[in-house]
Amino acid sequence: MADVLPFKGVLFNVPKISKASGGDLLAPPYDIITPEYKDELYDKSPHNIVRIDFGRELPGDDDTSNKYSRARAFLDDWISGQALTADEGPCFYSCEVAYNIDGSDKKLRGFLGLVRLEELGKGNIHPHECTHSKPKKDRLDIMRYCEANVSPIFSIYNSPARKTSEILVRVNQSAPYIEAEDPDGSVHRLWKISDPAAVAAIAEELGGKAVFIADGHHRYETAIEYQREMRLKEGDPAELRPYDYVLMFLANMSDEGLTILPTHRLVRGIPADALERLKADFEVEELQECCDIAGIIAGKRDVFGFYKGGNIWYKLSYRGEGVPDIAPALKYLDVTVLHELIFNKLLQVKDIAYEMEVGRCLQRVKSGEYEAVFFLNPTQVEDVENVALASLRMPPKSTYFYPKLMTGMVLNVFKYSF
């Protein structure tokens, strides 16, 4: 069973350093921050979390003076100057994101706590996607220098009883500790949960649940690597140490606040007879000057959009049932049909890029940057659970959980954790 603990979070001292309710102190996740937006975040406040989580590289940086050493210096200075303060006792932290998707208002609710690390897929913490190795070193260096979890891993669990969900609804009736609006207009709010009965009820409910990583596979694998390094350095101590846990945001799949968006595939190197090859397994319908391919395929299983320039689009409807010789939890997924059947078998496509926005996809094909784009529907949250429990992994970028969590709501600084 997953081991979930409250902790002594380190939070911004909002009344002391913020212009308002804290929006100038937080930042989106590092991997969606453009260079231009990084400059905006630096200008918002001298205490914006981007300086720690995703700082600037400067001329003259070397092994001893670099963005990671500066991140540690900012962290230490902000704590000593009380811009950041540690809670006196262990808490869980309720986090709510009010957002709008396709004209509908929704609320994502969950809580932040520490989850004991274990090897992925060998216990009760499960991945669902393959990952690329490149981003891991950057996140590992942040942990090495700062000795902290600066940003949480986004995870989900399934509890139809909804005991924790009900606690969060009650807690969230009061004024939040910090509030911030992200670039998409979503509003992020945080509350402390220090009541012993509420803390115990949350820990008890989560103690028997499997946890599925929704967003943050790199950060989890980085935390495992850091744990290995520290246990080797400290002689494998018998007692549990702060680095044996990682900061997670946990949301209940049984609530209605989760949204998964599709990530479309841009490709190069498609064969000249691509359409003829696709007709072997797909009904190919030609669409003239289509302006809403996402709407045309929405809600339809095994249906894809295909565009390779000009004024003609194509709707691809798979005639089969699943992909042969693939594990049951994966074989019926649209993303599996796309990667295993279309890319690997029919077209032998290797050069793939990922893009969320339909308009941006079209622009990149029309400009000649990519030869074609395949549009697909989002993976369902129950598919994430089924794949993870089967100890399998989807192709990279199979899910895009929305909205992304803001960084800086609460930090887990190891020397204060317990």
pLDDT in tens, 318-341: 999 999 999 999 999 999 999 999
Identify which of 404, 405, 407, 409 has the alpha carbon closest to the alpha carbon of residue 14.
409
C-alpha span between 335 and 325 (Å, rounded): 15
Res 7: pLDDT: 98
Confidence label for 136 from pLDDT (cuts 50, 70 and 90):
confident
pLDDT of 1 > 60? The answer is no
Res 297: pLDDT: 93
Res 127: pLDDT: 81
Q: Is the CB of residue 3 less than 8 Å from the CB of residue 116? A: yes
C-alpha span between 114 and 243 (Å, rounded): 10
Mean pLDDT (whole number) for 391-413: 93
> What is the SS3 assignment for 36?
helix
Query: Tell me, what amino acid is at 169?
Result: V
In the CATH hierarchy, which fold is given to the domain comprising 263-377? 3.30.1760
Res 194: pLDDT: 97
Res 208: pLDDT: 78
Confidence label for 289 from pLDDT (cuts 50, 70 and 90):
low
Specify the pTM.
Answer: 0.92
Confidence label for 393 from pLDDT (cuts 50, 70 and 90):
confident
Res 135: pLDDT: 53
The string of pLDDT tens digits covering residues 19-65 is 888 899 999 999 889 999 999 999 999 999 999 999 999 999 999 99
Identify which of 317, 405, 402, 280 has the alpha carbon closest to the alpha carbon of residue 30.
405
Res 102: pLDDT: 86
In degrees and rounded to multiples of 5, residue 325 shows phi and psi of 65, 25
Share of the chain above pLDDT 70, in %: 97
- Segments making up each domain of the chain, as ranges: 4-259+402-416, 263-377
Res 131: pLDDT: 64
pLDDT of 291 > 70? The answer is no
Hey, what long-range contacts does 13-17 have (CB within 8 A, 24 or more apart)? Answer: 13/82, 13/83, 13/84, 13/85, 14/177, 14/178, 16/82, 16/83, 17/45, 17/47, 17/83
Query: Helices 196-207 & 163-171, crossing angle to 10 degrees?
Result: 150
Identify which of 237, 220, 246, 8 has the alpha carbon closest to the alpha carbon of residue 114.
246
- Report CA-CA distances (Å) from 100 to 22, 106, 362: 21, 6, 24
The string of pLDDT tens digits covering residues 203-231 is 999 987 999 999 888 899 999 999 999 99
pLDDT of 290 > 70? The answer is no
C-alpha span between 292 and 119 (Å, rounded): 43
